[in-house]
Amino acid sequence: MSWAYLNNSFHRKEEVSISPYDRGFLFGDGVYEVIPSYSGEMLLYDEHISRLARSLEAVSIDKPRQWNNLEPIIEDLLQRNKFQNQAVYIQVTRGQDKIRSHVPDKLTAPTLFIESSELSTDLLQPDFKEPLIDVGMKEDLRWSRCDIKAITLLGNVLTLNELNDVGLEEVIFYKDGYITEGAKSNIFFVFGEEIVTPPTSKNILSGTTRNYLIDLLRKNNFNVMEREISVKEIEEADEIWFSSSVQVLRMVHKINNKLILEKDFKNTIGYKAIELLRQDILV
């Protein structure tokens, strides 16, 4: 039996409910954050909460009144749900209105929802399974503020559903001839000894794991650059990675069935990056 938190109290997950007049339900009017927790310790908590605050400010949603108590609330939730490793999901919507209206009532109070689920660490184990995934490429038709971690993810969902039907797990989005990111991840390319990732912008989420990975690689003397990457450069890449809070780092095997990386991945820079992450996160 698992627990979740809604507004002011904890509830069994199957008992959690919101009004259909909540603006998150009616308009997707809200933002969210995902925080990994390993053995009861949240990874990059301050960075995740700071990004949640930036998202709230960007869409002019007030912080929920429990804001200053978020950390103890989450710690309580982690203890209630008992899993050794968990992914914590936090969602804040503009709140519940009395009627459906595009313009919110100024007295509407934010809705706070927090839940956690078991998080696999297979990819961070010494004998981890293959971190290789097959992906597709699609023009990025999502809204133009992907730097805001909004709950309105219909473009991501439609793309991933389409790709999943043909056995692909992620997408490389591109806009105006340049790579942006994945549907649920940031993206890295390896050209020779150089690791390159697109710079953050309104088209790209400033990924907390992305930033953490960049810092970790640089501390270990890897050459990491942030610059725009054209679609044409993909064919020159030796490796392509996706990073996210939940899956940490995955490496691309094929793009639209075109081979990028052989199955023998243990001599790659990506494999070395996974080893660094494992040592830094789990040890």
Question: Is the sign of the CA dihedral 53, 147, 149, 252 positive or negative?
Answer: negative
User: Could you give the CA distance from residue 53 to residue 206 in angstroms, rounded to a whole number?
Assistant: 13
Q: Catalytic pick from 149, 175, 232, 263?
A: 149
Length of the chain equals: 283
User: Could you give the CA distance from residue 265 to residue 89 in angstroms, rounded to a whole number?
Assistant: 32
149 annotated active-site: yes
- CA-to-CA separations, 49 to 43, 63, 71, 116, 167, in angstroms, rounded: 11, 11, 9, 16, 34
Q: In this structure, what token pair is assigned to residue 73?
A: 């609330």
- CA-to-CA separations, 167 to 164, 171, 264, 269, in angstroms, rounded: 5, 12, 21, 26
All residues at 6 or more sequence positions from 165 whose CB lies less than 8 Å from its CB, including other chains = none
What are the catalytic residues? 149
